[in-house]
Each structure stands twice: as structure tokens, then as C-alpha cells.
Structure 1
Amino acid sequence: MEAVLDAVPRVLKRHGAGAVTTNRIAEVAGVSIGSLYQYFPDKQTIFNALHERHVEDVKHRMERAVEQCASSTLDEFAACLVEGLVDAHIVEPELHEMVSAAVPASSLGFKEALQMAFERVIPSPEVGTSRPHAGDRMLFVMPHLVESLVHAVPQARPPFTVARAKGEVIRTVLHFLDRP
């Protein structure tokens, strides 16, 4: 029922958050309401599935970042990971915000995915392990910074570009890592 999940952002863009109902989702997805309910008994189940899809996307992006940047210094790895995380979250920020609000534990899957990425990389001697708690610090700081960024950038006045926002997050993470 990918069509149902794909319909939610279209409903949101065309009609706004208030119009995201199971009837409207079914209509835009081109399925009957009965078919929708066969797979998704309520709107919350749809949001849960969207959240799971998002977490999988974040996991894949982080795996790619780990593969591309694993032999880098810790600073380069942090920058590479920030790029991937921001890119994963900046797409459809309204949808991300709506799903985050609807799925109370929405950050858990994201944090677990981030933990897995760092566990694969931090023990490696090539990744600047001279900073004993760098991985723990990154695990704490990065999800919170990225989450805040996703919600703040679209509303920033004057407009704050994604490139500038990424740069600020990277500088903040690197500064935080350098603290004793």
C-alpha cells in the first residue's frame, strides 16, 4: 500500500494538515476507503508506517555516509553524517513535523539508526578515537540539532538556506566534540 503512504504528502501539500483524513488519503491514493482500512485501520497506523519509512530512509543514508566516510577523520565523518541527516530531514518538512507530532516515540527509531552508524565507525582507529567520548557526544548532539534545524529552517526570517544551516550544525558539532 505504498500508494496510500505516497498520497499523504500530496494531501498535505494540496489541502493542508487539517485535510489529512483517511477519506482524503484514499481519494488521492486512488483506492477505496475499504481497501485503505484493510491495510491501515486508522490514520495513526498510516503515520506509524510513514515514520517507519522515514527511519529506514535515514538508516540507508547513514549507511551510505558510513561507507563513504568511514576512513575519514572524526571531524570529516561528522560533517559527512550531518550532510546526510539534514538532507533526509529537510525533504517535506511539513510532513516530517506532522508525523513527528503524531508518533510520540518518533525519535526512537532515528536515534537507534544513528547509534548503529556510530557503533560501526567509532571503534575504528581511522576515525579519530583519540577523543574518548566523541561518539557518545555525537549521538547526543546530532539528532537534537538536526531535529531542531528541520523545524526551524522553513520558518526562519530572513530565510536561512539549507547550506548555511548545514554549515552551522557542522560547526556546532565539531566545537562540541573538541570540548573536554
Structure 2
Amino acid sequence: MEAVLDAVPRVLKRHGAGAVTTNRIAEVAGVSIGSLYQYFPDKQSIFNALHERHVEEVKHGMERAVAQCAANSIGEFAACLVEGLVDAHSVEPELHELISAAVPASSLGFKDALQMAFERVIPSPEVGTSRPQAGDRMLFVLPHLVEVLVHAVPQARPPFTVDSAKGEVIRTVLHFLDRP
């Protein structure tokens, strides 16, 4: 199964998105088409498996950011989280774009995971009180803001590089956090 999943980015890099077929994937993976179909009934199931693998990688990255930076200020935490997420999404941007198009609901799980990460670092209200309005605003805006901007960075075009676009995302998030 891993050989099949690992073959998709190689096919994409060598031949482009139009050449990502089950036959080409099987050929590059070094397996028979029958073996591929034994594990994946169609190309969509391969994309779904790639999406699940990506989600797990991103969740681990978020968990690392929470473990390493949760004790810092919300701004430092957000910068740490964005840095790791941009790095994860910049590794194979063509593959990520292909999977995002093939699995339209892919951003929902990412937003939910971001929501949970921010809930862990934005102070909870005391028992018997409600969360302050600023916390509600942050928990609404931050997951959406970070999700959209992180997914935009790999498509950065001149004069931006991925690194300069990452810096702009971090500045944007920090600017939002500095607003009352």
C-alpha cells in the first residue's frame, strides 16, 4: 500500500497531473495493476488514503507545536504553529493541490484540528462564567485565517518566495492578535 501511495508524487513530478492514472501509479510503484486494485478499488480511494496520511502528518505537527509552544504567549504559539504548518504544506505542493481538488472536504478536518489546537492555548473561562468575547473572536477567526493562508503559501508567486510568504502569514496572524 505504501509503495502505491509513494508512487503518486513521483508520477506527478515526472508526468504531470493528467498522467496520474492507476496504470501509471502501479507501474511506478512496481506492482501489478491487479495488486493495486486489491488494496485500492479506484484512483479516488488512493487520493483518500493520501489525504488521510497527510492529515495524520499535520496533526502530529500540530501536537508538536502545542507541546513545544503552548506555554508561550498566544502570538508565539501561533507563529510556531504557522511555521510548522507552512513547512508541512510546502513539501509537495503539487500533490497537496491534487489531493485537495480530489477530496473537497479536506479542509474541514484541518480547520477542526486548528480549532482544537487554539482551544488548548486560549485561556478557558472560569467555571460559571462565559469565555470572554476576545477569546470567542480568536477561536472563530484564527482557525479560518490560518487554514486559508497556510494553504495559499505553497502557491506563492514572485516577488514572494515560500519563506517570505510564510513570514507574511505570521505577520498577519500576529497583527490580528494585537487587535483589541
Q: 1:69 to 1:146 in 2, by over 3 A?
A: same
CA distance in 1 between partners of 2:177 and 2:52 (Å): 30
CA distance in 2 between partners of 1:133 and 1:142 (Å): 14
CA distance in 2 between partners of 1:126 and 1:7 (Å): 51
Q: What is the CA-CA distance between 1:159 and the residue it aligns to?
A: 4.0
TM norm structure 1: 0.86
Greater shift after overlay, 159-168 or 99-108? 159-168
CA distance in 2 between partners of 1:169 and 1:158 (Å): 16
Q: Deviations over 1:8-59 (max 9, x none)?
A: 0000000000000000001111111111111110000000111111111110
Q: Describe the SS at the equivalent of 1:104.
A: coil
Q: What is the CA-CA distance between 1:103 and the residue it aligns to?
A: 0.4
CA distance in 1 between partners of 2:128 and 2:88 (Å): 25
TM norm structure 2: 0.86
Q: 1:152 to 1:67 in 2, by over 3 A?
A: closer
Q: 1:30 to 1:101 in 2, by over 3 A?
A: same
RMSD: 3.4
Q: 1:101 to 1:73 in 2, by over 3 A?
A: same
Q: Describe the SS at the equivalent of 1:31.
A: coil
CA distance in 2 between partners of 1:169 and 1:159 (Å): 15
Q: 1:148 to 1:113 in 2, by over 3 A?
A: closer
| C-alpha contact (below 8 Å) 1:72/1:127 kept by paired residues | no
Greater shift after overlay, 154-163 or 39-48? 154-163
- Point out where structure 1 has 5 or more consecutive residues left out of the alignment: none
CA distance in 2 between partners of 1:148 and 1:19 (Å): 28
Q: Describe the SS at the equivalent of 1:63.
A: helix
Q: What is the CA-CA distance between 1:178 and the residue it aligns to?
A: 2.9
- Point out where structure 2 has 5 or more consecutive residues left out of the alignment: none
Total equivalences in the alignment: 180
CA distance in 1 between partners of 2:2 and 2:42 (Å): 16
Q: What is the CA-CA distance between 1:151 and the residue it aligns to?
A: 5.8
Identity of aligned residues (%): 90
Partner of 2:169: 169
Q: Deviations over 1:90-116 (max 9, x none)?
A: 111111011000001111221222122
| C-alpha contact (below 8 Å) 2:44/2:102 kept by paired residues | yes
Q: 1:160 to 1:21 in 2, by over 3 A?
A: same
